[in-house]
Each structure stands twice: as structure tokens, then as C-alpha cells.
Amino acid sequence: MINIVKISIEEFEYEIYSKYKKIFPSAERRKWSKIKKSYNEGIERFYKVELNEKTIGFIMLENVINNCKLVMKNDYDYYAKDRHDKLLAGLMPSHRFVEKPMMKDMIEDLSNKKVLMLGCGTGEESIFLKAFGAKEEDLIGIDLSKKSIELAKKSYPNITFIVGDMSKLPFEDNFFDYIYSSLAIHYSPNPEIVYKEVYRVLKPNGKFLFSLVHPIRWASFEKEIDGSLYRLIGCSVDDKESTVFGSYNTFKEHTHTHFSWGINETLSFYVGSPSFHFKLLRKSGFEVLDFTESKAIEETKKDDMNYYIKNSELPQFMAFLAIKK
Ligand SMILES: C[S@@+](CC[C@H](N)C(=O)[O-])C[C@H]1O[C@@H](n2cnc3c(N)ncnc32)[C@H](O)[C@@H]1O
């Protein structure tokens, strides 16, 4: 059931601010202007109903949030267009300032190499890979999200994109020279199956570069302290009963909801420690050549100093480079 309420813009902003604070305690720490901008973007796109010049109707916020909670978990079809636009506009700081710089330091010349983009989303990583010499005709992207692949095909018509699952790759053995994957493998509940599939479709001496969420950030426990929200990994240090926040050593599913583009997006992924993945790679036949924990680059400071401080001191992502022996 959708309720439409008739209110002025000022009332609307007040409504959103107070309700948002109740639902997301971290709101107080954030800049109101940022929240407002983000909310307005979402409202513009989905929920605004023009009634007359001075009044605007909005679908009740609770409905919006409750609906989002039900439908938004890992919904890459729903976000395909937004992700595509934001990536191209450089508006995803985690990619621009943290993940891609980490991958850039580990990648090599891809000239004359047949390259698979595993979990390629809307295909923007092809621009990155081309900068390292990959030719369009040698690039193949695969992703589970039909909408993302549709968009990738439209945007990069000379590259092959297919809908498919990384745990059952539709390629013959020894097919690729290089497999690249950005922030996708952590959606698999069983990365060993994925590593074995990647091993199978890589040629001998073929390389596999991929990034994952880092447990320091994503296996943490969210706790509100004095009205602010913290992500914690650690334990109590006094002699009383032990309290542990987060789960660094256990491979398991973690769910995070963040407020984005006017609605709350829920992402759920499987987080394991670096040694967990290292051992699985070895078990699948790989030799691990390199490992990096991410650090925001200096350029981030100009864009968002707070983001720089957090992401230069603590790794948000990690990346492995492995070779098929
Ligand atoms: C965070 S996005 C990353 C997209 C792209 N690599 C990038 O960096 O922009 C994660 C992608 O993994 C895809 N994905 C999740 N599970 C998958 C699976 N089992 N097989 C293939 N793709 C999958 C999602 O559809 C989504 O497009």
C-alpha cells in the first residue's frame, strides 16, 4: 500500500531529516546537505509526484524504506544504470581512489592477451584494461546481472559480454591468458569453486588478478556509541567476560546497508581473511605472486578528507595476483 502525502518542501525536508536520523543513527555525523542531495536524487527519480506549483507529494518515507529493504539486497539489475553513470563520472570514490589504484599497481601489460572480466558489471573496467594494452576483440566480460550486461553491450559494442555465473564458466579449458575481477568474487558463498573454475579456464602460466572486500572493514560489527555509529573489530581487554566485535577469522556472510541515491541499499557478501583466500588459491592449484591491502591515494584529500583519513589508515579492499602452475 502506497500513501501519498501532500506537504511543502520545507516540511518534507524536516520529515526526512528527523526520520532519517531515527533509522540511521549515523546521520548526525554526516553532512545534512549531503543527505539532502542524496535523498532528493532518489525522490526525483522514483517518488516525487507533482500536485501543483507549490505542493509536492511524496510517498511516505517508511514505505519507501521498507520496500527498499525487501527488494534491494544485491540487486545489481536495479542499480545497473546508476552504477554505470557514476563510474563513468568518477563518482564512486571507492573505485576511483582506492580499488583501481590498488589494481593498477599489480596489473601488467595485456597486449595480445585474451582477457576475461569476471563479474564485470556494466563493463567500465574494460576502459581500465584497455589502458594496459588489452584489445577490445580480446576482452570478454561475464556477469550474473542481465541489466548490467545489456548496458555493457550497448556502451562497449566491440566487446563481447555474456550473462553467466562465475561458479560455472561457459568456456573450455585453457582459454584465457589473464583473468581480471574487481569486487565480485566476495558474492560467492563458495570461492573455492570459483578459484577452481578460473584455474580450469586459464592457460598454463596464465594470471589471475582480483580484488575482494577486506575483513578489517567488512567483517566488522556496527555499534552505536554516544549517538555515533562505529564499525568495530576488536575485543574487550579487561578481566571481565570477553566481548568480541567482528569476526576476522571466520569466513561468513555479512550484510551492510548504506544510504545511497535516496534509498537504502543492502549489500550482502562473504568475507574471509587474507590467509583464508591464500590457502584456497593454493589448494586450487595457484601460486600466489602478490598480495595488496588497499590504501586511498593522496588525490582523495582534495575530494573528501574524511574519506581519505579512514581509507588510508584502514584497508577497505585487498587484491591477489596468482599464476596457474
Ligand atoms: C560490485 S559489482 C562490481 C562490478 C565491476 N567488476 C566493477 O568493478 O565495476 C559486483 C558484480 O558481481 C556480479 N556478480 C555477483 N555474483 C556473481 C556470479 N555468481 N557470477 C557472475 N557475476 C556475479 C554482480 O552482478 C555485480 O555486477
Summarize pLDDT for 67-95 with one digit per residue, the tens: 444 345 677 887 788 788 878 888 788 99
| 252 domain residue, yes or no | no
If asked whether residues 63 and 88 sit together in one domain, one would say no
CA of 294 to the centre of ligand 1 (A): 19
* Candidate from 143, 147, 156, 179 with most ligand 1 atoms within 8 A of CB, to mutate: 143
Domain holding 36, by residue range, is: 4-72
Residue 56's pLDDT is what? 39
If asked whether residues 174 and 313 sit together in one domain, one would say yes
Residue 10's pLDDT is what? 55
Where in 279-316 does DSSP place strands (E)? 286-293
Q: How far apart are CA 185 and CA 180, in angstroms?
A: 11
Residue 74's pLDDT is what? 74
Residue 119's pLDDT is what? 98
Q: Give the count of domains, the chain.
A: 2
Residue ranges of the chain with pLDDT lower than 50?
1-7, 23-32, 42-71, 261-262
Contact partners, residue 184, CB within 8 Å, separation at least 6: 118, 119, 120, 121, 143, 166, 210
If asked whether residues 10 and 60 sit together in one domain, one would say yes
Q: Which of 2, 47, 12, 26 is nearest to 257 (CA)?
A: 26
If asked whether residues 28 and 96 sit together in one domain, one would say no
Ligand 1 pocket, 121 CB below 6 A? yes
If asked whether residues 65 and 86 sit together in one domain, one would say no
Residue 256's pLDDT is what? 76
Residue 17's pLDDT is what? 56
Ligand 1 pocket, 124 CB below 6 A? yes
Prediction pTM value: 0.81
Backbone φ, ψ for residue 195 (5° rounding): -60, -40
Ligand 1 pocket, 183 CB below 6 A? yes
Residue 255's pLDDT is what? 81
Other C-beta atoms lying within 10 Å of the C-beta of residue 269: 19
179: domain CATH number is 3.40.50.150
Atom of ligand 1 minimally distant from the CA of 95? 8
Residue 28's pLDDT is what? 43
Residue 79's pLDDT is what? 76
Q: Which of 224, 130, 219 is nearest to 180 (CA)?
A: 130
